[in-house]
Amino acid sequence: MRCLRKHRIRLIAANVLTIAVLTSCGGGGEQPKPLRIGVNLWPGYEHIYVAEHEGLFDAAGIEVDLVEFASLSDGVRAFAWGDLDGFAGTVAEYHAAYVAGGVAEPVIAAGLDYSNGADVILGGSGIASMSDLKGRSVGVERGPLGEMFVSIAMQSVGLTIDDVRLVVGDSRALPGMLERGEVDAVQTYSPFSAELLSKGLKPVFSSADAPGAILDVLVVDRQVLKQRHGDLEKFLRVLDDSLGLFESEPDLAVAVAAHHESLSAAEFLIALDGVELLRVGDSIKLLDDGTFQAACDLVALVLGEPEQSSSIDPRGCVDRSVLDAVSVSGEA
């Protein structure tokens, strides 16, 4: 009995010691979850992949889980359902996420780039201008971006989106639909447009014809912004560092980005030429000069105001607190 009692005392003491060690090491607390960011193929997002490939997130002490989607609309749905903390998309996708009314409450935390020629409408045989598309069919990517871009393009020649027939398709499938003659034109962007452009097709409209219309942004859940403000600051600092690699080590950065997009380095550089990448300082300038709000207002005008608000968001579409924090730190 004496031996049994001693054994119990030793066992209790060992358990107490184990608990003490785990507690002192933080073993009793919940480990931080990865920051889940949705992305899709687009030259303006490739510096995010370069950051992951080169271990920049790990070096900054932040765990990031990049979730790739086949289309922008897939990322919006996942965000609305609460499966993502944020996503990279255009202001049109922010609008869609807000209208969706899911468990996540979207807000724009930063700018990533704006399209300056990389988004195009390519016409098939007999289509030399947007005017030629009246009464014809246009293939568009599923989601709000395609509809908005075609609407802006039609308005540029005094027509409306009602003057064409929209055929919704997957972004990867749209070029093939045009080649097979299933549609008369397609709304597309790099890398999906690369093959058609290499065959000599010329855009009848591009984002260069509508400056500032397609602004790519980082959309996050408001609760995530409040609870993980520090992680989002690290995330933006890393993105700036990754953009720096395109200047300091261009061969490396371009090789990683081009491989991810299944393009040659030359093709990727051509695609990137139609995109203006934004650092933190650039985002702040666009906030200060009203470009962000103008983009939000344009999307609301073209796609229609959400029923629950006279504006996309009565508090404003952007929360600039993360951008300002990174800027003040002197590391932007």
Return the higher-pLDDT residue of 16 and 230. 230
**What confidence category does residue 299 fall into, taking pLDDT thresholds of 50, 70 and 90?**
confident
If you average pLDDT over every residue of the chain, what do you get?
87
Q: What is the domain class of 119-209 according to CATH? A: alpha beta
Among 157, 144, 186, which Cα is nearest to 299's? 144
| pLDDT number for residue 17 | 38
CA dihedral 153, 156, 157, 163 (to 10 degrees): 40
Query: Which of 32-36, 131-135, 220-224 is least confident?
Result: 32-36
Q: Which two tokens stand for residue 317?
A: 């579409």
In the chain, beta strands by DSSP E: 35-39, 64-68, 86-90, 106-115, 119-123, 137-141, 165-169, 185-189, 203-206, 215-221, 275-277
Q: How far apart are CA 63 and CA 61, in angstroms?
A: 7
Query: Tens of pLDDT along 53-107?
Result: 999 999 999 999 999 998 888 999 999 999 999 999 999 999 899 888 888 999 9
State pLDDT tens for residues 110-143.
999 999 999 999 999 999 999 999 999 999 998 8
Residues 6+ apart with CB under 8 A from 244: none
Q: Give 226-266 pLDDT, tens digit per residue.
A: 999 999 999 999 999 999 999 999 999 999 999 999 999 99
The whole-number pLDDT of residue 36 equals: 98
Q: What is the pLDDT of residue 309?
A: 44
Q: Which CATH fold topology does 35-115+213-328 show?
A: D-Maltodextrin-Binding Protein; domain 2 (3.40.190)
- What is the pLDDT, as a whole number, of residue 28? 47
Q: Which residue from 317, 331, 332 is spatially nearest to 96, judged by alpha carbons?
A: 317
Residue 4 banded pLDDT, cuts 50, 70, 90: very low
Q: Mapping DSSP to helix (H, G, I), strand (E, B) and coil, where does residue 275 land?
A: strand
Choose the weakest-confidence range: 14-18, 88-92, 161-165, 212-216.
14-18
How many whole angstroms separate alpha carbon 317 and alpha carbon 109?
9
| SS3 track for 38-71 | EECCCHHHHHHHHHHHCCHHHHCCCCEEEEECCC
Q: For the chain, what are the domain ranges?
A: 35-115+213-328, 119-209
Contact 140, 150 (CB under 8 A): yes
pLDDT at 300: 83
Q: To the nearest 10°, the Cα dihedral for 270, 271, 274, 279?
A: -110
Q: Render pLDDT for 166-179 as a digit per residue (tens, 0 to 9).
A: 999 988 899 999 99
Q: Give the span between the Cα atoms of 185 and 170, in whole angstroms.
A: 14
Residue 210 burial (CB count, 10 A): 19
| Token pair in block for residue 118 | 């990389």
- Confidence at residue 296, expressed as pLDDT on a 0 to 100 scale: 86
Q: What is the mean pLDDT of residues 191-204?
A: 90
CA-CA distance, 62 to 170, in Å (whole number)?
33
Topology match between the domains 35-115+213-328 and 119-209 = yes
